[in-house]
Amino acid sequence: MPELLKPPEPQALCRSDELAERGTAVVFDVMLWRAPARAFALRFDGRVVAYLNRCAHVPAEMDWNPGEFLDDTKEFILCSIHGAVYEPAGGHCVGGPCGGGRLMVLDVEEREGQVYWYPSADIQPAFAD
Ligand code: FES
């Protein structure tokens, strides 16, 4: 009989009011394939979205200042390195050198004034030691 997978435990990320509409993202540490990495969450059109902070062009962090991912128009996520452009609602590349790629999505949930993210097979919580 196959071993049943336990559902992922929600990980508390931040209070809802810390994520202003199209404002600064909350950046947090994760483990990607057992190596340290960072992810970010921001609010776009009222919904919280979260992605690995890793460009689809070159595996580098994208924020031009810590937590600043959106372009001047606040319409797109912009990689500060070579200008790849992603649509914030789904993380799909829509311009620049990301070649039709997509940011890695983290599942998030918002309830009772709190934002949670859900680990996956690829992305796990980073625990302080
Ligand atoms: S690393 Fe993001 S556009 Fe090149």
Going by alpha carbons, the residue nearest to atom 4 of ligand 1 is 82
Which atom, in ligand 1's list, is nearest to the CA of 56? 2
**Length of the chain, please?**
129
Q: Is the CB of 81 under 6 A from ligand 1?
A: yes
Q: Is the CB of 79 under 6 A from ligand 1?
A: yes
Q: Is the CB of 55 under 6 A from ligand 1?
A: yes
Q: Say which residue the tokens 């199209």 belong to.
A: 22
Residue of 53, 58, 64 to mutate, ligand 1, most atoms within 8 A of C-beta? 58
The torsion region of residue 73 among left (phi > 0), alpha (psi -120 to 50) and beta comes to alpha
pTM for the model stands at 0.93
pLDDT for position 6: 72
Question: 19 CA to middle of ligand 1, Å?
Answer: 25
Q: Select the CATH number that applies to the domain covering 11-125 from these four: 3.40.50.720, 3.40.50.2000, 2.102.10.10, 3.30.460.30.
A: 2.102.10.10
For the chain, the structural domain boundaries read 11-125
Give the other-Cβ count within 10 Å of 89's Cβ.
10
Q: Print pLDDT tens along the chain (129 aa).
A: 455 667 789 999 999 999 999 999 999 999 999 999 999 999 999 999 999 999 999 999 999 999 999 999 999 999 999 999 999 999 999 999 999 899 999 999 999 999 999 999 999 999 755
pLDDT for position 58: 96
Give the other-Cβ count within 10 Å of 10's Cβ.
16
Q: What does the alpha-carbon distance between residue 54 and residue 37 come to, in Å, rounded to a whole number? A: 8
Name the token pair of 44. Answer: 């776009």
Q: What does the alpha-carbon distance between residue 13 and residue 40 come to, in Å, rounded to a whole number? A: 10
Question: 62 CA to middle of ligand 1, Å?
Answer: 7
Name the token pair of 81. Answer: 């390195």
